[in-house]
Structure 1
């Protein structure tokens, strides 16, 4: 419980720093982040956060395999077990195959409780079987919430291929939109700030149920559009 309170206090301080203005936010809003999964999405987005000044711990069942990644990213990047990373991070990015969600949520329920969790997973029939059918029927947001109970869940970074994120981060001109959805207002604020730090324009589509609109196979999945274009497509205000 003490750990949960500390995490909530740090997340609140992060939100307050963002509200205080750009200069203070730039100085005070660097929080430790756990990236569960060091593959294409995890390595790409986690790497962008490291470059933005966030300390990041990448996790897998075999953290020694992540040594080349963290050495390339420098001293702000670390590798660890899933348990170590979840204890380290005030925010969490989940970027593992969707079939791992039930075990991940069950095994690490205590460490996930109260954490802002950015959920980048997609469910595919060939790999994830019945979970893909469940996500299609119930919606990916509701399905993730079922298997990650207690997490302050935000769907993010799932709507495009990692290559598109890598080539579009911090691009000149209008930034690439990243749609996000969640039921926790403060978690959405934290997630939006992290999307900006990665070099994109966050577009809040709605609550978790609205994540259906940009899950794999939906019309708004896989689109490289600007923030204003995305807000128009989703029918949300500026």
Structure 2
């Protein structure tokens, strides 16, 4: 499928933003908040710690995250969601999708204006009506509805955490991580963080394009290289 003009313009804008350097903070190793210390949050957050980023992992029970942060070393901390959102210049959300409405409502002020990488997937068994809404409206639009004010980028949702753990910084062509968002600077930040975690970011399009790699789509659970993913999604190199 040939890439359209809008996708080309988006890719060019992201490339220019990346060429200009880090889009957030003055330090390429800016602090990151990871909301959720489970499989995805622990895996991706751990990769950022290893890359030199200070990371604060958060949950309702931060004391439960003590084993994780002790394993990762002094750059890793545990805190409440409020503490983590105040700490991080960028945020990874890796919690069950059913928590999104309450999360967005409770922490709206702290999420506003933040670059938020949205790794959540909606499943019918766990998330009920939210899963149906995500299927109907698209996962990107649904996340944007419940996280208003956040500079949202869909990222790290298209593969099982084991694939991320096994393929980070692998030799040869890096594993692709598709991302989608409407904010060009937020996309540039997300792309840089995907690279820091050891992968090749592939900008698929705006939030509406996140349907191309949401759970159940052909773009989900693909262990592809960057060039292979760009060809499959029909986007520019």
Q: Same fold (TM over 0.5)?
A: yes
- Residue-by-residue CA offset, 1:47-92 (whole Å, 9 max, x unaligned): 0000000000000000000000000000000000000000000000
Deviation of 1:2 after TM superposition, in Å, equals: 44
Which residue of 1 is the match for residue 202 of structure 2?
Answer: 203
Pick closer, same or farther for the CA change 1:112–1:22 going to 2, 3 Å: closer
* Aligned partners of 2:10 and 2:184 also within 8 Å: no
Q: Secondary structure at the match of 1:75?
A: coil
Write the distance in 1 (CA, Å) between the matches of 2:115 and 2:6. Answer: 13
Compared with structure 1, are the counterparts of its residues 9 and 152 closer, same or farther at alpha carbon in structure 2 (3 Å cutoff)? farther
Query: Which SS does the other structure have where 1:2 is aligned?
Result: coil
Greater Cα offset, 174-183 or 14-23: 14-23
Structure 1 residue 5, shift from structure 2 partner: 33
Counterpart CA distance in 2 for 1:157 and 1:47 is 14
Contact 1:178 1:203 in 2 (8 A): yes
Q: Aligned in 2, Cα 1:10/1:111: closer, same or farther, shift over 3 Å? A: farther
The equivalent of 2:147 in structure 1 is 148
Q: Distance in 2 between matches of 1:115 and 1:11?
A: 21
Specify whether residues 76 and 60 from structure 1 end up closer, same or farther in structure 2 by C-alpha distance, changes over 3 A only.
same
Flag the 1:74–1:3 CA change in 2: closer, same or farther, 3 A: farther
Task: Give, in whole Å, the separation in 2 of the partners of 1:7 and 1:35.
Answer: 29
Find the aligned partners of 1:137 and 1:31 in 2 and give their Cα distance. Answer: 36
Unpaired segments ≥5 residues, structure 1: none
Question: Comparing 149-158 with 27-36, which one deviates more in the overlay?
Answer: 27-36
Report SS of the residue matched to 1:9.
Answer: helix
Deviation at 1:28, TM superposition (A): 3.3
Structure 2 runs not aligned, ≥5 long: none
Q: Contact (CA 8 Å) 2:10, 2:205: kept in 1 or not?
A: no
The verdict on how the C-alpha distance between 1:177 and 1:4 changes in structure 2, with shifts beyond 3 A counting, is closer
Would the aligned equivalents of 2:23 and 2:188 in 1 still touch at CA under 8 Å?
A: no
Deviation at 1:117, TM superposition (A): 0.1
SS at match of 1:3: coil
Q: Provide the C-alpha distance between the structure 2 equivalents of 1:61 and 1:96, rounded to a whole number of angstroms.
A: 11
Higher relative contact order (CA 8 A, sep 6+): 2
Q: CA deviation at 1:35?
A: 0.1
Conserved 8 A contact 2:91-2:115: yes
Shift in Å, 1:12: 18
How many angstroms apart in 1 are the aligned matches of 2:66 and 2:57? 10
TM-score, scaled relative to structure 2: 0.91
Q: What residue is the counterpart of 2:13 in the other structure?
A: 13
Query: Secondary structure of the equivalent of 2:29?
Result: coil
Give distance in 2, aligned partners of 1:122 and 1:5.
Answer: 29
Which stretches of structure 1, 4 residues or more, deviate above 2 A after TM superposition? 1-24
Does the C-alpha gap of structure 1 residues 60 and 7 become closer, same or farther in structure 2, counting only changes over 3 Å? farther
Q: 1:78 to 1:23 in 2, by over 3 A?
A: closer
Normalised to the residue count of structure 1, the TM-score between the two structures is 0.90
